[in-house]
Amino acid sequence: TQLLEQSPQFLSIQEGENLTVYCNSSSVFSSLQWYRQEPGEGPVLLVTVVTGGEVKKLKRLTFQFGDARKDSSLHITAAQPGDTGLYLCAGLSSGTYKYIFGTGTRLKVLA
């Protein structure tokens, strides 16, 4: 069974703090995406990483794809209450061509 394990599962931090969310698998992925989902809404695609070692920045968010394309991380600098939500990684498995969602990280940023 292919899994994308995210850690931590829950995170509650103060406004202005930095944080990192991890997404790990034992399988290789041809690409990985990160989504943010707010309560009652659908996930919104934030970024796609395709190349091993790739780093992408989106304002205060930095995304990295592992060299072996088995893991990814999301780093948020100076978190704001508007960053609150469920963060999901997802990817297309290189072997099975199945699209798999991670277990999710629920972030709460307190003002």
Partner 1 sequence: DSGVTQTPKHLITATGQRVTLRCSPRSGDLSVYWYQQSLDQGLQFLIQYYNGEERAKGNILERFSAQQFPDLHSELNLSSLELGDSALYFCASSVAASSNYGYTFGSGTRLTVV
- The single-letter DSSP state of residue 83 is G
When the beta carbons of 16 and 99 are compared against partner 1, the nearer one is: 99
Minimum Å gap between C-beta 40 and partner 1 is 7
Two tokens, residue 38: 């707010």
Q: Is 81 helix (H, G, I), strand (E, B) or coil?
A: helix
Nearer to partner 1 (CB atom), residue 12 or residue 103:
103
Burial class of residue 40 (count of CB atoms within 10 Å of its CB; 0-12, 13-18, 19+)? exposed
Q: Whose Cβ is closer to partner 1: residue 45's or residue 68's?
A: 45
Comparing CB distances to partner 1, the nearer of 1 and 14 is 1
What does the alpha-carbon distance between residue 83 and residue 85 come to, in Å, rounded to a whole number? 6
> Between β-strands 44-49 and 55-58, what pairing exists: parallel, antiparallel or unpaired?
unpaired
Q: Closest distance between partner 1 and the C-beta of residue 105, in Å?
A: 11
Shortest approach of partner 1 to residue 26 CB, angstroms?
18
**Residue ranges that bind partner 1, judged by CB under 8 A:** 30-31, 33, 35, 40-45, 48, 50, 88, 90, 92, 97-99, 101-104
